[in-house]
Amino acid sequence: MVRLLVSRGQESSNLLQKEYMCFTNNGVLSLGLPPAWVDVSEDIAANVERARVKMAELAKAYAKALMPSFGDGKEVQRLIEGLSLEITDLIRRSEKKLMRLSAAGPSEDSNVRKNVQRSLATDLQTLSMELRKKQSTYLKRLRQQKECQDGVDLEMNLGGSRSQMEDDDFGGMGFSEHQMARLKKSEALSAEREREIQQVVKTSYQFHFSTKSHALSFMNSYFLSFLQVAQSVNELAQIMKDLSVLVIDQGTIVDRIDYNIQNVATTVDNGLKQLQKAERTQKKGGMVMCATVLVIMCFIMLVLLVIKEILL
Amino acid sequence: MVLVSAARDYINRMLQDISGMKVLVLDSQTVSVVSVAYTQSELLKKEVFLVELIDSISKSKESMSHLKAIYFLRPTSENIQYVRRQLASPRFGEYHLFFSNILKDTQIHILADSDEQEVVQQVQEFYADFIAVDPFHFTLNIPSNHMYMLPAVVDPPQLQQFCDCAVDGISAVFLALKRRPVVRYQRTSDIAKRIAHEVSKLMYQQESGLFDFRRTEVSPLLLIVDRRDDPVTPLLNQWTYQAMVHELMGIQDNKADLRSFGKIPKDQQEIVLSSEQDAFFKANMHENFGDIGINIKRMVDEFQQLARSNQNIQTIEDMAKFVDNYPEYRKMHGNVSKHVTLVTEMSRIVEERKLMMVSETEQELACNGGQVAAFEAVTNLLNNENVSDMDRLRLVMLYALRYEKESPVQLMQLFNKLAAQSPKYKPGLVQFLLKQAGVDKRTGDLFGNRDLLNIARNMARGLKGVENVYTQHQPLLFQTMESIIKGRLRDVDYPSVGNHFQQGRPQEVIIFIVGGTTYEESRSVALQNATNAGIRFILGGSVILNSRRFLKDLEEAQRIARTSSSVV
């Protein structure tokens, strides 16, 4: 149960509210401009929203592409390609911007920034995961369809190049945390490979085109889409890795509200302590220096005095 | 009527209607309330980007008018003063004030007076003034818990504070559940009587309009009992997961602190043990230590399988699948290492303090007769070098509670031995316990040896044999619940306040233990709720006790009682 006592902007016959309103005097509310990073965060949020809309479109396009049709399906293919590129691009751009949000120092503002960053990172992560899930299911369905409809002579060509790519680029590649690093290294390699494969595909595409076989071009478009999905999986994996540093794991101590408050308090405390220490050492250093100089001067003067006494 | 969801619901309603970036300001009590019910990532989802304590937020002067402030505070005069100062020179764009309990009219006037710039958008009461650690278990975390043991003549102002806290908490629970209960209390306890009368006065006279809910057929029952009626339960070693962690390490607001144990990796130094967020813990919190070992083994096996399947990735599909599962994998990794750390650390402590041996004797003392054997066992353990001082003290206390009247001579022998063996032992502590919670003070039949029926039942159980020697003890609360279910709670022992009587069997029962609950009792309540669909029990207390806390309270109370009696 809840009891509402006072609320502005709402007509109420509540006695307490009337009393409350009587007590408050009219004053002018001064509103300051929010800091610049708020714009950045809004930008990212808008990007995420846009990517969500695109994602819905992509899902529709996938469904359409999976529908059996006797056209070459190139238009749908192009649409899918364009959409996934756009989404990946949006995610990548947002991620870059996100890195700009981070701030140093234990002040409240930087805390807010850190939290904003975290929440946006979580959004981005779920988004990219969603995209990946969609892509992989699409890929799986595509495979299934292909296996059903495969032409015999075609299998040689395409199957060969496909398995080559798998074996060379990703075969035997464990994807545990330390092997993530290997992914990066092999990325350059795989990009090169992909180019090669694309060339192979192009030539074979031309060949198929000349035979004007519907089935062949159908297969080809599948292969192209496969390649393109593979590429974006790669990209997303990278983004995911960067984001996972920011995202809070649920059920851990980091996810506790009081832990976060304590942490802030201790960092602030530590900062203060450091400052005090610095001040102390600084003060001490100055004093000691001053005293030493004075003592040395005293000695010099004394010596001078003695010399003067002796000589004169 | 589950407490955790009630608290979550309140927080949701606080946050959902206010759009834009928000800062949540809490006080030291509401931090716990919010922390057990909500998580940081959920807050971030609701666009709460800063959580601060009220005293630290008022230190800074930096203006943040792009943020909207949500205050969730207890209505104490201290907090009101903080808010007043803040409103005089506002740092945030808007202020939404929520209070966790009934606000006094004068306090509202103070707030209105200070809101000169009209930044306050709303003031509401959201009655989440309790810490819902589990669905059927709440605590109030009252700081000076030892107060309940002092007689009313000794220290009135602080005792009054303790009572007020308890009354506030109890009334908040009922406001959150939208119920007005029939109040009953344990007759022999002054403090239970006092709290019961104050609660009843608040609900039926002072704020009767607020508590006037739609009538249910049978009003729920609020039973207020005293910890001293069952001093045995907090003195026993525990062997079920949640209770054991609390006994050996200590749980505060569903969070175990392992920093004092050394050699713990940095990310495991504080551990969250919430039945809401951790499925493994939810399934195993009431299991005994042996079963936990087996279940953890199973979890580790599962995890290994998952890790292995992640190791061999052949195709790009495997890779995509792995990346999909990666967050799940990480979560499981964290969870596995958390529970493994806990259990390893606990078995180390068990081994070090010889708790198996100690606990067997404790359970013998608590559950079975046989004075001669018990005396011998306690003497042996007192002589054992490996048994810690605290365990010795507890054994003597248990023996004293059990054989208070039967064997005063042997009891004296044990006192002397204890004083000789344990240098830190404060003389008279056991006697103080007997004075507080001796057989003359208790209402319930703690050891089941008062009437013939209970003795017979006890003997029958002894013949049947018990499944597990270490967990055979049933808290007194179990008997109380049984007699409530059967409608046999005696009016002589547990009278009602005023002329509000129970008609028929209550559907909902809230048992409040003045002086603190234990996780063993919480387990008992949870198991009861799982079996019997007819009556639902909720357990609450001023704190959650383990034996260390119970002994500390006892010492503190003894100290105060002694100094005040010497003054008098």
Q: Do B342 and B269 fall within a single domain?
A: yes
Residues of A in contact with B309 (CB under 8 A): none
Q: Do B115 and B75 fall within a single domain?
A: yes
* Largest separation between any pair of C-alpha atoms in chain A: 122
Q: What is the pLDDT of residue A69?
A: 67
Contact B330 A249 (CB under 8 A): yes
Contact A108 B52 (CB under 8 A): yes
The rounded distance, in Å, linking the Cα atoms of A260 and B270 is 12
Q: Is B468:B161 a contact under the CB 8 Å cutoff?
A: no
pTM over 0.90: no
Q: Is A272:A105 a contact under the CB 8 Å cutoff?
A: no
Q: Mean pLDDT, to the nearest integer, of B289-310?
A: 86
* Burial track B445-468 (b if 16+ CB lie within 10 A, e otherwise): ebbbeeeeeeeeebeeeeeeeeee
Q: Is B186:B10 a contact under the CB 8 Å cutoff?
A: no
> How many H helices and E strands in chain A?
8, 1
Beta bridge partners, B137, equal B134, B539
Q: What is the pLDDT of residue B558?
A: 86
> How many H helices and E strands in chain B?
21, 14
Q: Structure tokens of B95?
A: 């202020």
Residue that finishes a domain, picked among B416, B438, B470: B470
Q: Which of A8, A116, A173 is nearest residue B122 as measured by Cβ atoms?
A: A8
Q: Mean pLDDT, to the nearest integer, of B476-483?
A: 89
Q: Do B382 and B460 fall within a single domain?
A: yes
pLDDT digits (tens, 9 = 90+) for B358-369: 888 888 888 776
Our count of domains for chain B comes to 4
Q: Mean pLDDT, to the nearest integer, of B477-487?
A: 88
Instruction: Classify residue B245: in a domain, yes or no.
Output: no
Residue that finishes a domain, picked among B420, B455, B470: B470
Q: Is B102:B207 a contact under the CB 8 Å cutoff?
A: yes
Please report, for residues A208, A218, B242, the alpha-carbon distance to residue A157 in angstroms, rounded to integers and kept in the order given. 11, 14, 62
Q: Which domain holds residue B312?
A: 262-352
pLDDT value at B195 more than 50: yes
Q: Is B135:B275 a contact under the CB 8 Å cutoff?
A: yes
CATH number at residue B105: 3.40.50.2060
Q: Mean pLDDT, to the nearest integer, of A295-310?
A: 94
Q: Do B62 and B101 fall within a single domain?
A: yes
What strands lie across the sheet with B92-99, from one edge to the other? A2-7, B120-126, B92-99, B64-73, B22-26, B48-53
Mutation choice for A interface testing from B102, B103, B123, B210 by most A CBs within 10 A: B123
Q: Mean pLDDT, to the nearest integer, of B21-48?
A: 89
Residue closest to B34 by CA, chosen among B246, B278, B253: B253
Q: Do B370 and B294 fall within a single domain?
A: no
Please report, for residues A80, A138, A232, A236, B173, the alpha-carbon distance to residue A128 in angstroms, rounded to integers and kept in the order given. 16, 15, 10, 7, 42
B45, HSE (Cβ side, Cα atoms, 13 Å): 13
Q: Which of B35, B45, B123 is nearest residue A6 as measured by Cβ atoms?
A: B123
Q: Where are the beta strands (DSSP E) in B373-498?
A: none
Instruction: Classify residue B236: in a domain, yes or no.
Output: no
pLDDT digits (tens, 9 = 90+) for A203-216: 444 434 444 444 45
Q: Which of A125, A139, A261 is nearest residue B31 as measured by Cβ atoms?
A: A261
pLDDT digits (tens, 9 = 90+) for A25-74: 444 444 456 777 888 888 888 888 888 888 888 888 888 877 776 666 67
- ipTM, two decimals, is 0.71
Q: Do B343 and B419 fall within a single domain?
A: no
Please report, for residues B130, B351, B454, B553, the alpha-carbon distance to residue B138 in angstroms, rounded to integers and kept in the order given. 6, 32, 31, 20
Instruction: Classify residue B434: in a domain, yes or no.
Output: yes
Q: Do B11 and B123 fall within a single domain?
A: yes
Please report, for residues A45, A123, A246, the alpha-carbon distance to residue A50 in angstroms, rounded to integers and kept in the order given. 9, 13, 22
Q: Do B439 and B520 fall within a single domain?
A: no
Q: Is B91:B64 a contact under the CB 8 Å cutoff?
A: yes
pLDDT digits (tens, 9 = 90+) for B116-159: 888 888 999 999 999 999 989 999 999 888 888 887 666 678 88
Q: Do B270 and B333 fall within a single domain?
A: yes
Q: Is A98:A241 a contact under the CB 8 Å cutoff?
A: no
Instruction: Classify residue B181: in a domain, yes or no.
Output: yes
Residue that finishes a domain, picked among B287, B322, B352: B352
The rounded distance, in Å, linking the Cα atoms of B33 and B235 is 27
